Amino acid sequence: MSKEIFPTIIVKDSAVLPDSFQNEMRVREENAKVRRAHQDKQASMSKQGVGVDGSIARLGNNNFIKNDAPRLVLTYRDYHNQQCIAEATMVPKLDKPSEVEMMFTLVCLKCVNRGVPMAEAQLMVRESHRKFWIDDRPQHKRPQFVEHVGVVNPAGVVSTKDTIRCSNFNCGWTIRINDSVVEEI
Ligand SMILES: [Zn+2]
């Protein structure tokens, strides 16, 4: 199972980003819609016990994929509070593909701002590599209005224990996430 995951960057201040970015953002959102529709289908199939394969049946049992991929609304504090909608997804573990773990992806805004295509500016955060947790208490799941997207129901807020570093050449962007607020270190 391989699945492309592209978070959506919500541009609050388009002047700080390259022109091409707005278009790319729209394409990503379209792709995300298609993907969510597919996941909905998978979820309803597994509810009926008609899993396509074992992995989908397992995913169907997970709270996080009942209707929609859980969405996280990240705020980049050091980048004009721009927001990024990231989806958390269950993926096979790299070292043990028969088991799954949670992963979410965010965009390195430093890379994006220096012209790296968004698809190559992805930081994939896997549970097994970087400890993170999603606080899904009701106060963190209130619907949120996000510019260009509308109302989003976040799955909760995400926090990381460790720092996350962009591994792209010549970048070194290092962050920590507290309650979905991305802070540079
Ligand atoms: Zn980077």
Q: Rounded to the nearest whole angstrom, what is the distance from the C-alpha of residue 83 to the centroid of ligand 1?
A: 17
pLDDT tens, residue by residue, 25-83:
666 666 666 666 666 665 554 444 433 333 333 333 343 333 456 889 999 998 888 88
Query: Which residue reads 């043990």 in tokens?
Result: 96
State the amino acid at position 78 in one-letter form: D
The pLDDT assigned to 74 comes to 93
Pairing of strands 181-184, 71-76: parallel
Q: Rounded to the nearest whole angstrom, what is the distance from the C-alpha of residue 183 to the centroid of ligand 1?
A: 14
What does residue 183 show for φ and ψ, rounded to 5 degrees?
-120, 135
The pLDDT assigned to 52 comes to 39
DSSP reduced 3-state for 71: strand
Q: Rounded to the nearest whole angstrom, what is the distance from the C-alpha of residue 46 to the centroid of ligand 1?
A: 37
pTM beyond 0.75, yes or no = no
Inter-residue contact 124 to 89 (CB < 8 Å): no
DSSP 154: B
Kindly state the percentage of the chain with pLDDT values over 70: 63
Q: Rounded to the nearest whole angstrom, what is the distance from the C-alpha of residue 158 to the centroid of ligand 1?
A: 20
Q: Rounded to the nearest whole angstrom, what is the distance from the C-alpha of residue 14 to the centroid of ligand 1?
A: 19
pLDDT-derived band at 157, boundaries 50, 70, 90:
very high
Domain boundaries, the chain: 8-184
How high does pLDDT run on average in the chain? 74
